Amino acid sequence: MKVMIGQGSCGVATGAKKTSNEFEKLVAEKGLKNVVIDKTGCIGTCYLEPIVDVYDDNGALETRYVKVQPEKVAEIVEKHLIGGKPVEEYAISDVDKTFLEKQKRIVLRNCGVINPEHIEEYIARGGYESVKKVVTSMTQDEVIDVIKVSGLKGRGGAGFPTWFKWNEAKKNPGANKYMVCNADEGDPGAFMDRSVLEGDPHSLIEGMTIGGFAMGATEGVIYVRAEYPLAIARLEIAMAQAREKGFLGKNLFGTNFSFDIRIKAGAGAFVCGEETALIASLEGERGMPRLKPPFPAAKGYWQKPTNINNVETFANVPWILANGGEAFAAMGTDNSKGTKVFALAGKIKKGGLVEVPMGLPLKEVIFGIGGRIKQDKQFKAVQMGGPSGGCIPADLIDTPVSYEDITKTGAIVGSGGMIVMDETTCMVDMARYFLDFTRKESCGKCNYCRIGTKRMLEILERITRGEGRDGDIELLEELANKVKDGSMCGLGQTAPNPVLTTIRYFRNEYEDHIYNHKCTAKSCKALIRFTISDACKGCTLCAKKCPVGAITGSVKQRHVIDPDKCIKCGKCEESCNFGAVVRE
């Protein structure tokens, strides 16, 4: 019997290591020599962590336990591991099972299933068979043709055909070529690549090696953000094991092909998601984009032919080579093939990682898999593509998740961030938040990006403070288009997207802020006030919770809030059990 405990970053953050230690302690005390305690990565149901899976002696999953804190472990050990009867009250519910059942997992096929630090478990699931087939029995052109048939596009944001990039790098001459993995995942709320690195690092290694063979590279570099210590640690373990098995290094599988990988921990600059800025950082320079052409396929890292793809792109490659390009192309739409991983976050009941076929409607992802909106509030919009993307409103919820359809809305698929918003979200403030992020992350090379985003942010900040002026909306649109047209790289070209899409779909909220000095969502502090209605029972709880003593009143009498003292923290609203505190 095996007990697998999810120990990705999300699991560890919720106490999975303490849970694991408790299992190890009790299993040792009870002398259960037939029970193995093991670890795995994130299965994707982050909202249910810590997760504990119990497998029988034949390797079949018996029971999945959720939200297993240390105090629950003794009962599971006693009743299930010893008594043979699962503790049903701790097991995953049928409703939560649908989170995984409605997905199609290719990139995440091993995450939450294998121990990422044991290469044997990856091999047992067909790992490294694809690269063996490629290196020993295929030509470079044959590998590229399979990827071409699959229709795989880069999953880092731009959606550029993977086969084309590999082929261009192959055609350019050079004794030294480089296969680079962009694992610098910088979008707020995005954690797709991190989960693959922590849960299935060998799929990345195998995918990079296959890509290296196809383009003629002998060296690979994984550029990963330094804020991912667990991902880096597991990558290092995986690479050492792959070298020991002969899957990395000299003369792979007895052939003349040699390929090895090293890790570069980056400083975490968002602009380094742009390939030329990433290359500059790799070379020890400040992460700033360069003019193209020449493209990296011709002159990239150290001016040598270089290809760059992200983690998710590479993780697809071994599956495609094992199952055929046609199998991958059979999923998705005409122009968006295969599956896509999304990080569901925000005002959603079931937050976590979702992998679905391209073309699935947004409604099915958010409502069918994500379980609708927290507290059953009204769905308002979803931000896709992170700071480079845009807000898609509720009336476009049936939009298929594909590169072409999402782009039509003004947003982008991006790397896969999906931030869900409800009726309490102010869209003006949301635009302000994302623009503040891109302004801070701008490298400053382009005048329009450096100065234009700052001026746009100043306008948005004024509007959210209730100091908006007539003409601000038009000025924002004018500046946005100039920043898009005048910026060299994708950061500046897409930075205005959140502003433009919120103006496009939620112009009324901007007008409310500017002309009525009112926040439609009752969210912006400068534009709201709290009052107490006749529903007040005089319980005094709100007065006790108020940190500045702005609430006065006698027991069993209606209380009053002094607007001059009120700091609009919302403690009174949170503490009132009678709905008497009114946000206006």
Q: Is the pLDDT of residue 404 over 80?
A: yes
Strands (E) in 289-389, as ranges, are: 306-310, 339-346, 352-357, 379-384
Residue among 501, 563, 513, 571 nearest 542 (CA) = 571
- Whether residue 333 is predicted with pLDDT greater than 90 in this model: the reply is yes
The per-residue pLDDT of the chain, averaged, comes to 95
Q: Where are the domains of the chain?
A: 2-94, 119-329, 339-422, 427-515, 529-583
Write out pLDDT tens, residues 157-167.
778 999 999 99
Question: What are residue 382's DSSP bridge partners?
Answer: 392, 420
Residue 140's region, left for phi above 0, alpha for psi from -120 to 50, else beta, is: alpha
341 neighbors 354 (Cβ within 8 angstroms): yes
Q: What does the block give as tokens for 268? A: 């975490």
Q: Between the CA of residue 558 and those of 350, 352, 532, 547, 571, what are the distances in Å?
A: 39, 43, 8, 19, 17
46, 10 in Cβ contact below 8 A? yes
Q: How would you classify the pairing of strands 339-346 and 417-422? A: parallel
**Mean pLDDT, residues 86-114 taken together:** 95
Separation between Cα atoms, residue 41 and residue 392, nearest integer Å:
31
H or E, element range at 262 = strand 260-266
CA dist 405 and 397 (Å) reads 12
The verdict on whether omega for the bond into residue 293 sits within 30 degrees of 0, i.e. cis, is yes
CB 166 within 8 A of CB 144: yes
Rounded CA separation 450/460 (Å): 16
Residue 549 has pLDDT above 80, yes or no: yes
Joined together, the tokens standing for residue 1 give: 């019997």
Residues with Cβ within 8 Å of 374's Cβ and at least 6 positions away in sequence, in order, are: 347, 348, 349, 422
Contacts of 543 (CB under 8 A, 6+ apart): 549, 551, 552, 553, 559
Residue 565 vs residues 418, 529, 548, 570: alpha-carbon distances, Å: 38, 11, 7, 13
**Closest CA relative to residue 328, chosen from 98, 104, 102, 100:** 104
* pLDDT tens per residue, range 272-287: 889 999 999 999 999 9
Report the distance separating Cα 295 and Cα 288, nearest Å.
Answer: 15
Q: What's the rounded mean pLDDT across residues 313-327?
A: 98
Read off the tokens for 525. 């502090």
267 band by pLDDT with thresholds 50, 70 and 90: confident
**380, 429 in Cβ contact below 8 A?**
no
pLDDT band at 127 (very low <50, low <70, confident <90, very high): very high
CATH annotation of 427-515: 1.20.1440.230
What CATH fold (topology level) applies to the domain 529-583?
Answer: Alpha-Beta Plaits (3.30.70)
- What is the mean predicted confidence (pLDDT) over 431-449? 94
Token pair of 292 as six digits: 């193209």
What percentage of the chain reaches a pLDDT higher than 90? 93
What kind and span of H or E run contains 234?
Answer: helix 229-245
pLDDT band at 529 (very low <50, low <70, confident <90, very high): very high
Say if domain 119-329 classifies as CATH 3.10.150.10: no
Q: What is the pTM of this model?
A: 0.93
pLDDT of residue 386: 86
> Residues, the chain, total?
584
Q: Which of 151-160, 433-442, 525-534 has the lowest mean pLDDT?
A: 151-160
> Taking Cα atoms as reference points, which of 137, 108, 147, 149 lies closest to residue 125?
108
- Which residue reads 């002969």 in tokens? 246
Mean predicted confidence (pLDDT) in 348-360? 95
Residue 197: phi and psi, rounded to 5, are -60, -40
Phi, psi of 516 (to 5 degrees): -105, -5
The CATH number of 339-422 is 3.10.20.600
Residue 157: its pLDDT value, please? Answer: 75
Which of 119-128, 321-330, 404-413 has the least mean pLDDT? 404-413
CB 316 within 8 Å of CB 130: no
| CA distance linking residue 281 with residue 423, whole number of Å | 41
Cα distances from 35 to residues 1, 2, 139, in angstroms, run: 5, 6, 46
Instruction: Kindly report, residue by residue over 491-511, the tens digit of the pLDDT.
Output: 999 999 999 999 999 999 999
Structure tokens at 240: 């050492």
Determine the pLDDT at residue 452. Answer: 96
Residue 352: how many CB atoms within 10 A of its CB?
Answer: 24
Intrachain domains 119-329 and 529-583 with the same fold: no
Top CATH class, 2-94: alpha beta
Plot region of 468 (φ>0 → left; ψ -120 to 50 → alpha; else → beta)? beta
How large is the angle between the packed helices 140-150 and 311-323, nearest 10 degrees?
Answer: 100
What's the sign of the alpha-carbon dihedral 471, 472, 476, 479? Answer: positive
**pLDDT tier at 460 (50, 70, 90 boundaries)?**
very high
